[in-house]
Structure 1
Amino acid sequence: MAHPTHQAGRGSAPFARVSRREHGYNMRQVDQFLDRAREYYDGWDPALPPVTSRDVRTVAFDPARGGYDPRAVDSALDRLEDAFAQRERDDLIAREGEQAWLTRIGRLSAVLRARLHREPGERFRRPRHRNAPGYNVQDVDALCNELLNYFEHDEPLSVDVVRRAVFREAKGPDGYEENQVDAFLDRVVELMATID
């Protein structure tokens, strides 16, 4: 169970922490990443390596006993990713015009929709090995159907539904290959964070 903390400031943690017996996120790694992202976003040091919305989406932290509550950190990272995605969109429009941005999201959307239009059960590869873990085909296809309605019929769908999607496990050919599904959903989140 997470323990509440005081407001962030000198001598206090910016996130709730899990109990000393539980594993949370390594606090030093989280703090360093967020400091670096904040400095880059605010433009404090132009010599810093860039931080992108994809960097925020894919960052991973080591587990640590008594670390930050992963739910609190993940929620903050989602908001940060959205802010970076919006800024990247605005920067692209300022540099190259709105048509360049529309062309870019149009291409990505076309690629994603092409996969979504595949027959249920055929949207992703099956694991090669008989006992390899995979994602339950029906669970993944159900989310794909929601995404198709979002992209083509303007049905409401929060990007957080995609970020938090959890699928039952399936073995070997009974499931979809996890890496391929994850890569696809990563691109979906990238697009949704940009256009929402």
Structure 2
Amino acid sequence: MAHSTTRAGRGTGPFDRVSRREQGYNMRQVDQFLDRARQYYDGWDPSLPPVTSHDVRTVSFDPARGGYDPRAVDSALDRLEDAFAQRERDELIAQEGEEAWLTRIGRLSSVLRARLHRAPGDRFRRPSHRNASSYNVQDVDALCGELLNYFEQDQPLSVDVVRRAVFREAKGSEGYEENQVDAFLERVVELMATIE
């Protein structure tokens, strides 16, 4: 859905905002999360609870009229996640050596590739409830094909393609269970952000 945006006023925040009639992200929640992430990343306050790339990837904000433009915030969060993933990789290598990092990504890659090698149409569970929302099987399998080419044929694929993947809706067992597909793609993003 296209959003009309207005330039954030001086001192009101770092992102464009949607119009007053549209729903954006709650500005206070976005500002608080980004401030906490910045303080943790910069080491300003070691007593702060840690912020990880997983936290950045899974954070959500309440809708708010006239709030921050979700596209702008999501784009910033993608860059922040990449920075945290890179730092986590560097810290693991510094503490345990490059072999430990390679072992970790090798294990994750093996698990992900095993699912990708399943037959099209059988890669994920089907919802048990007849009217449950599900993802179009062909759409999901098409992305799985691209991922297989990325992991095994060194075909280029941006992590943002996976982050922004949208699938047509299906009903019940006509499609794949949404939660299982989402959890799988979250792990794919985790791996891609670490190795890119």
TM class by shorter chain equals: over 0.9
- 3-state SS, counterpart of residue 143 of structure 1: helix
Q: Which residue of 2 aligns with 1:17?
A: 17
Deviation of 1:112 after TM superposition, in Å, equals 0.1
Within-5 A mapping of 1:48-63: 48-63=48-63
Q: Which residue of 1 aligns with 2:121?
A: 121
The ranges of structure 1 where at least 4 consecutive aligned residues each deviate by more than 6 angstroms after the TM superposition are: none
Distance 2:11 2:140 in 1: 44
Q: Which residue of 1 aligns with 2:7?
A: 4
Q: Which residue of 2 aligns with 1:44?
A: 44
Instruction: State the identity %.
Output: 84
Q: Provide Cα deviations, 1:34-87, integer angstroms capped at 9, x if missing partner.
A: 000000000000000000000000000000000000000000000000000000
Deviation of 1:24 after TM superposition, in Å, equals 0.1
- 3-state SS, counterpart of residue 193 of structure 2: helix
Distance 1:5 1:47 in 2: 32
Deviation of 1:130 after TM superposition, in Å, equals 0.7
Distance 1:167 1:18 in 2: 25
Distance 1:158 1:184 in 2: 17
- TM-score norm. by structure 1 comes to 0.97
Q: Which residue of 1 aligns with 2:107?
A: 107
1:79 aligns with 2:79: yes
Deviation of 1:12 after TM superposition, in Å, equals 3.4
Q: Which residue of 1 aligns with 2:183?
A: 183
Q: Given residue 58 of structure 1, which amino acid in structure 2 is its aligned partner?
A: T
Distance 1:112 1:180 in 2: 12
Deviation of 1:4 after TM superposition, in Å, equals 2.2
Distance 2:163 2:6 in 1: 24
Distance 2:105 2:42 in 1: 26
1:142 aligns with 2:142: yes
Distance 1:5 1:116 in 2: 43
Deviation of 1:5 after TM superposition, in Å, equals 3.2
Distance 2:59 2:21 in 1: 24
Q: Given residue 132 of structure 2, which amino acid in structure 1 is its aligned partner?
A: A
Distance 1:147 1:19 in 2: 37
Deviation of 1:171 after TM superposition, in Å, equals 0.3
Q: Given residue 141 of structure 1, which amino acid in structure 2 is its aligned partner?
A: D
Deviation of 1:13 after TM superposition, in Å, equals 1.6
- 3-state SS, counterpart of residue 5 of structure 2: coil
Distance 1:190 1:93 in 2: 17
Q: CA RMSD in A?
A: 0.8
Deviation of 1:28 after TM superposition, in Å, equals 0.2
Q: Given residue 17 of structure 1, which amino acid in structure 2 is its aligned partner?
A: R
Q: How many residues align?
A: 193
Q: Which residue of 2 aligns with 1:167?
A: 167
Deviation of 1:109 after TM superposition, in Å, equals 0.1
Deviation of 1:11 after TM superposition, in Å, equals 1.8
